[in-house]
Amino acid sequence: MTDPIEPERPPLDDWPRPDLPRGRTFPAQLLLTAELLERITEQGLPADRSLQRELATRRKMGRRDRERVRELTLFVLRQRRALDWLLDEHAPSMAARVAATLSLAEALDPVLAEAAGLTPETTATLARRRAQPFDSLPWSVRFNLPPAAAEQWQAWQPDHPESLARALDGRAPVDLHANPRHGERNALIDELAEADIEAKTIAGLPLGIRLEHPTRLTRLPSFEAGGFEIQDAGSQWVVRTLEAQPGERVLDLCAGAGGKTLGLLDEARGQLHLTACDLHPDRLDRLRTRAQRHGDTELELRTVDATQPLPVDLAEFDRVLIDAPCSGSGTWRRHPELRWADIDWDGLAQTQRQLLEQGASATRPGGRLVYATCSLWPAENEAIVAAFLARHPDWNTIRPSLDDLPDDTITAAGWIRLRPDQHGCDGFFIACLQAPTDPSPNRSVA
């Protein structure tokens, strides 16, 4: 019997490929990658922290081997839909997905295929399917969208979809915001350069710094002294749209671990009466630690369920920020595991509506309320704000007086959209709303 004729191996320039370090991949690395992927997916863990923690414990692994496992893990999370298409299976094993990744890198041999549990039939299917041009695949496969996200994408129909999809599959830059109370931004860039860390300013963000290459930062003296925080440029734009002025009362209603909270204080040189709230005390504990390192010891922290009527003293704030919980689709570059998270869309929308109502109740007459998400989907953004304005017709949309805000970020309704392919940051939606100056009955919480 003659061996079957293998399909002609096509050039893979149009297929995404992992950027693996030189050297061979061994079965143990394939299986470790599959194990980490299963743990990240089943437990809903952040991929970057999980990889850092897990690989740090494996002291016998070489640097290249660690980087190989890291790259394979992130590639599967970013390209899972395409890998499943290659395998022609609805829910293949993580090991099979790693094997498909290796095939795109021309690094899948029979030993690795067997370790991944691939049958001869699956291996043949993989070879046959990867012979097809990547551009011929269905758009939801090319864009690596699970069914729920594909529905959201179809409802949105963004301009330049290919560009956006490629950006979401890429790696996010490392951005910092400098603490101006610690020193000038250029002085921090010089200090980073002395540590062989290349950095540059970010246009439009007076405190923004972007690193040319990822590196460890938390052991730098300037970090330990509170000289900067790691914060995406899009998140810094959210902070700037509040335009908080020294002496004002500001409420961060969903503060989390406090990146935007500290950004607000830095923008106003610490001269704010700022209250930060969150539902989860452990997040506020992390914020307290960060604030102490940052030099902000007068910050008021409150554990609050902001979907319910707020305590009576949380009222009459000049500025209110709602960084609403969301699907996180705008952060897929940093958190590729979020693509595959199970989301209660109805429950999430209800939370977002309630937060916006409670934030409105805490805003003084004529004050500013900013509603923001790191989501791309209109169902979490435009739909939520439009419904709020329909219930409260005496509220207005306003445009921040930021000269450096790119014009192409402003939507027809006057809201702000940031995209990774167009603005170099995570995807964000921002609506700046102004409370009526007359505290009429329409301001009451629905």
Catalytically active residues, by annotation: 374
Helix axes 27-43, 94-104, angle to 10 degrees: 130
Pairing of strands 300-303, 205-211: unpaired
Residue 205 tokens read as 């963000």
CA 442 to chain centre: 35
Q: 139 — alpha (psi -120 to 50), left (phi > 0) or beta?
A: alpha
Pairing of strands 175-178, 228-230: antiparallel
Q: Which amino acid belongs to residue 352?
A: Q
Q: CB-based contacts of 290: which residues, under 8 Å, 6+ apart?
A: 229, 257, 258, 262
Taking the C-alpha atoms of residue 87 and residue 169, their distance in angstroms, rounded to an integer, is 20
Question: Nearest to residue 262, comparing CAs of 286, 281, 280?
Answer: 286
**CB-CB neighbours of 83 under 10 Å:** 26
CA distances 329 to 95, 196, 284, 337, 376, Å, are 25, 33, 24, 10, 6
Rg (CA), the chain: 24
Give the sign of the dihedral formed by CA 277, CA 281, CA 285, CA 290. Answer: negative
372 φ, ψ (degrees, to nearest 5): -140, 150
Pairing of strands 199-202, 249-252: unpaired
Taking the C-alpha atoms of residue 244 and residue 247, their distance in angstroms, rounded to an integer, is 9
130 φ, ψ (degrees, to nearest 5): -75, -5
Which helix (H) or strand (E) segment is 362 a member of? none
Taking the C-alpha atoms of residue 206 and residue 421, their distance in angstroms, rounded to an integer, is 22
410 φ, ψ (degrees, to nearest 5): -85, 125
Residue count (the chain) = 446
Which helix (H) or strand (E) segment is 134 a member of? none
